[in-house]
Amino acid sequence: MKPEKTISIVLVGLAVVYLAIRVSSGEMATVYVQPLDVGEAPAQASDYIAGTAFPSPSRTVGVWVAALFTLFIFSFLYRDNVFYKFAESVVIGVSAAYWMVVAFWTTIIPNLLGKLSPAWVRSWAMPGLSPEREDTWYLYVIPLVLSVLLLWRLAPKGAWIARWPLAFIIGTTAGLKLVGFIHADFLGQIRASIIPVIAMSADSFDFWQTAKNLVLIASILACLVYFFFSIEHRGVVGKVARSGIWILMITFGAAFGYTVMGRIALLAIRIEFLLDDWLWLIDPTAKRIGLS
């Protein structure tokens, strides 16, 4: 047996023994709930000690599944393996199913059937829905027809019919996005860039605001020159374009720093989950005070 495999087996064996000891002593991963008139609500350990809450087997299993799947995904850092592939497949399958169910209950039922036949939908799915049809309810026949046309691509013949609703989707999305970007990003950013070169505050010269404004204007101009390819980047134009590259690099660096911060936050929260909710090695929010 390879030394690597031996070490892996020993480490996993030690972890299993450790977990078995912790589980048998009831010192990890237990979730408490409080009974309500309908269903149950999450509770703290203090509620359990007071006798108003009880351990929830289903939610406890949920913590175990979340912890094991976290470790399965982390295992990819060492090497691609069967546990990682299993977790990856489950995540993809569950996500696909979840999105289908969400789309059915939040789009097809309320936005299509609920508009075409509100009384019927109210009788079995949405009791709070008004049974009265809107004045223009018949317009919702159009998306119904488009939906059927879109699904036509699954039929053995006439798959080209699906292009019509697709064209409608692309056209409306492009129109919607175009207006948003022109208004908020193009015109809005031009307007935001028109700032005083010499800034005044309370009738006096504001040096730092002036410096900020100058850097902002110079940076915009330098970056624009870099992306202006109708003139060869030589001489003064070349130097300005080169400074534009530097400004872009600084921007990319700041973006990278923020990305690192975001990713470390995600890693930290998973490790905190393992140490807190699963292993009970830490209690940063003091939710298990009183438990021995």
Partner 1 sequence: MYHFLSTLDRRWIFLLMGAAVTIPILLELQFPEEATSLAHAVFNEIEQLEEGDPVLLAFDYDPASEGELGPMATAFVRHCCEKKLKIYFIALWPVGPQMIDDSINRVIKTDFPDMVYGEDYVNLGFKPGNEGVIKVIVTDLKQLYSTDDRGTDLDQIPMCRDLVNIQSMDLVAEVSAGYPGVKEWVQYAATPYPDQIRLVAGCTGVGAPLLYPYMPEQLKGLLGAIKGAAEYEKLVVDRYDREAGREPDLKYLEGKRRMGPQLVAHILMVVLIVVGNIVFFVGRSREGTNS
Q: Are 222 and 244 in contact (CB under 8 A)?
A: yes
Write down the least CB distance from residue 139 to partner 1, Å: 12
Please tell me the distance from the alpha carbon of residue 48 to that of residue 56, in angstroms, as a whole number: 11
Query: Taking CB under 8 A as the rule, does residue 41 contact partner 1?
Result: yes
One of 184, 190, 198, 249 touching partner 1 (CB under 8 A)? 184
Select the residue interacting with partner 1 from 35, 171, 262, 290 (CB under 8 A).
262
Q: What angle do CA 186, 181, 258 make, to 5 degrees?
A: 85
Query: Residue 222's closest CA among 249, 251, 192, 244?
Result: 244
Contacts with partner 1 by CB under 8 A: the residue count is 52
- DSSP readout, 68-108? HHHHHHHGGGT---HHHHHHHHHHHHHHHHHHHHHHIIIII
Query: 56 to each of 95, 280, 281, how far by Cα in Å?
Result: 25, 16, 20
Return the H-helix or E-strand segment holding 223.
Answer: helix 207-226
**Applying CB under 8 A, does 212 fall inside the site for partner 1?**
no
Output 12 or 155, the one with its CB closest to partner 1: 12
Q: How far is the CB of 223 from partner 1 (least distance, A)?
A: 12
Contact with partner 1 (CB under 8 A) among 39, 127, 156, 235? 127
290 touches partner 1 by CB under 8 A: no
Query: Is 112 near partner 1 (CB under 8 A)?
Result: no
Out of 11, 185, 211, 290, point to the residue binding partner 1 (CB under 8 A). 185
Residue 159 CB, nearest distance to partner 1 (Å)?
26
90 interacts with partner 1 by CB under 8 A: no
Contact indicator for 161, 152 with CB cutoff of 8 Å: yes
For 223, the token pair is 């970056």
Restricting to residues 213-232, name those near partner 1 by CB under 8 A: none
Binding positions for partner 1, rule: CB under 8 A: 41-42, 77-78, 98-99, 102-103, 106-107, 110-111, 126-130, 176-177, 180-181, 183-185, 188-189, 191-192, 251, 254-255, 258-272, 275, 281-282, 284-286
